[in-house]
Structure 1
Amino acid sequence: MTDEPTPVPFTLAAAGMTDVGLKRTENQDRILMHDIVYAVADGMGGHEAGEVASQLAVETMQEICTFANKTSVRKLPTAAEVQRQVQLADDRIREALEARGGTTLCALLQIKAPDQGRDNVTAPITAVPPWTSSFAVKVNTDVISKVTPEMLAEHRESTTPSTAPLPVLNEEIPNLLLVNVGDSRGYRLRDGALQQLTRDHSAVQEMVDAGQITEAEARNHPHRNLITRALGAGAASHPDLTVLQPRVGDRYLLCSDGLSGELTEDILQTILVNFKDRTEAVRVLTGAALEAGGRDNIAVIVIDVLAAESPLPEAAEN
């Protein structure tokens, strides 16, 4: 019989900020920080459209906090309920903007705990998408609009690995759920080592997975801003969901590509390891992205998993 690790009560503490960057005139990135939901949304589109899309995304996710706190005993969402809320955000953005804008979303949430979380990252797609060979040298849109739902369905049916069923729920101690649509990213620093937990839904990521280009080439590829999945735009918007095992001492980073596109994973790891104070880590990360070029809006949230404070013992009756 294998001994399962005992779940330990935890609490989350976070710091975050956004910055317009050095090349853009508008900041279309939005962040959400709550003890139940932390989220980064990177808007895209024409005049005000990206800003509206990212704002709608975080406002819709914030409703989870409202629902959870309606009763005296906090009611955390399930993974299925979170997925439905992401779909609601997609519907609201499409209705409001009529495909004129969209947004990425990367969020970390406390949910009703499965008996066992998954710490593995989704397996990459290995087949070459049929539409990548037809990309123009210059692309003026952030979302691949010419990829139809039928094209996506046919390609992903033959390449996407099956998803394991979610474990049985345990009501006692919450777990963490990582949600991703687009190319905003989620990382985890554990025991001093940084791991990217999300997989970009982007043209260059599919090229990397297919062996067409290297990770280094992807950083400056002309299609680096072209994403294949977004809320409110394009043919696909369903999120990747990963249930994670929280461990006291872990540090999570949620960010838009304005950060991850400027800084290598080694630099991200060095900053997250050396700057223990969350607020200082966020400031240094943002400053480093600006020094590296600041080509896009920057959104950063750093989340620490801390031990929950033990309740004070009740006074003994005389």
Structure 2
Amino acid sequence: RRESRFCANCGAPFDGQPISLTYTVAHVSDVGQLRSNNEDSVRVWSFAGHSLPAWALLVADGMGGAASGEVASSCVAAAVEQEIVARWNASDPKPEDLERWLRVILRQANASVYRQAQSDPALHGMGSTATLAWLEGDRVAIAHVGDSRAYLIPPSGPGWQITRDHTMVNLLAAIGEMTAEEAAASPENNLLYRAIGVAPKVEIDSYIRRMQVGDRLVLCSDGLTRHVPDEELIAIARQHIDPANACQALVAWANQRGGEDNISIVVALAKAGASGSS
């Protein structure tokens, strides 16, 4: 299965060097219809100079009173950039090290946000989601905290959510205290039990998947998924060859449904070859 660590064709575990793919990447962050400020941060970085070009993608959705949500997500983005650039300049990460590499980067981001929150009473309690992806060759590695999401969408057949939402209702559903339908309908379905920056340490989920030509990787904040269910998100992403058009179409659809929160999206399309991005 491609949603696991094993080859879809032969069932062998991932090993060896990544196969050359290139990616066209686009991103957007929209304030939505009801908010006056944008507490999301979305970033895309491209890297060259080692064996293969690479891309890092981040969606962070801040939370907290007044402007502290904006501060939290911006702090995550700044910390990730500092760490990821320094580590890339030092060495090209090996495929088997990618998950650990990204977890370390998000731990540093967690420490940075927590320190800033503790240093200013106005920022106490601030936090952020963080979904960080690294694309290199035919591998995508992801580190994740919160309820922003990553999806893998092949050209045909089922697409799926890679990440797990760290929401209280999702946790209650997992232990049988609530049905999936009750969790989805709950007015408290955005309450997180895990976030960046709210405690000195945080548990980080990580994943690695294999990409193929025509696959799309979508990262997004919950401002999209609260209005656009998975099947529609997957269909809209597939309808647009250009990732920038896919981003705009998804934002428009979420805003037509109410746009109750900020909407941030990154779409990466895998193509044959080893150079070129946008």
Coarse TM-score class (shorter-chain normalised): 0.7 to 0.9
Partner of 1:42: 61
TM-fit CA distance, 1:68 = 5.0
CA spacing shift, 1:236–1:91, aligned 2, 3 Å: closer
Q: Are 1:37 and 1:62, in contact at CA under 8 Å, matched by a contact in 2?
A: no
* Counterparts of 2:263 and 2:193, CA distance in 1: 20
Q: 1:100 aligns with which of 125, 131, 138?
A: 125
Partner of 1:258: 223
> Match of 2:196, as an amino acid?
L
> Match of 1:47, as an amino acid?
A
* Counterparts of 1:272 and 1:103, CA distance in 2: 26
* Counterparts of 1:188 and 1:174, CA distance in 2: 13
3-state DSSP class of the match of 1:183?
A: coil
Q: 1:206 aligns with which of 146, 171, 174?
A: 171
Between 91-100 and 42-51, report the one with greater CA deviation.
91-100
CA spacing shift, 1:175–1:227, aligned 2, 3 Å: same
3-state DSSP class of the match of 2:187?
A: coil
3-state DSSP class of the match of 1:217?
A: helix
User: Which residues of 2 match residues 262-277 of structure 1 at below 5 A?
Assistant: 262-277=227-242
TM-fit CA distance, 1:211 = 3.5
CA spacing shift, 1:220–1:23, aligned 2, 3 Å: farther
* Counterparts of 1:89 and 1:69, CA distance in 2: 16
TM-fit CA distance, 1:59 = 1.4
3-state DSSP class of the match of 2:166?
A: coil
> Match of 1:182, as an amino acid?
G
Q: 2:74 aligns with which of 24, 42, 55?
A: 55
Structure 2 residue runs of 5 or longer lacking an equivalent are 1-9, 47-54, 119-123
TM-fit CA distance, 1:96 = 0.4
3-state DSSP class of the match of 1:70?
A: helix
Instruction: Number of aligned residue pairs: give it.
Output: 246
TM-score by length of structure 2 reads 0.81
The percentage of counterpart residues that share the same residue type is: 29
Structure 1 residue runs of 5 or longer lacking an equivalent are 112-172, 311-318
Q: Are 2:84 and 2:105, in contact at CA under 8 Å, matched by a contact in 1?
A: no
> Match of 1:188, as an amino acid?
L
TM-score by length of structure 1 reads 0.71
Provide the aligned C-alpha RMSD in A.
2.3
Matched, 1:15 2:26: yes
Q: 1:185 aligns with which of 146, 149, 152?
A: 149
3-state DSSP class of the match of 1:219?
A: helix
User: Which residues of 2 match residues 119-268 of structure 1 at below 5 A?
Assistant: 175-192=139-156, 193-233=158-198, 237-268=202-233
Q: Deviations over 1:267-304 (max 9, x none)?
A: 11110121121111000101111111111111111111
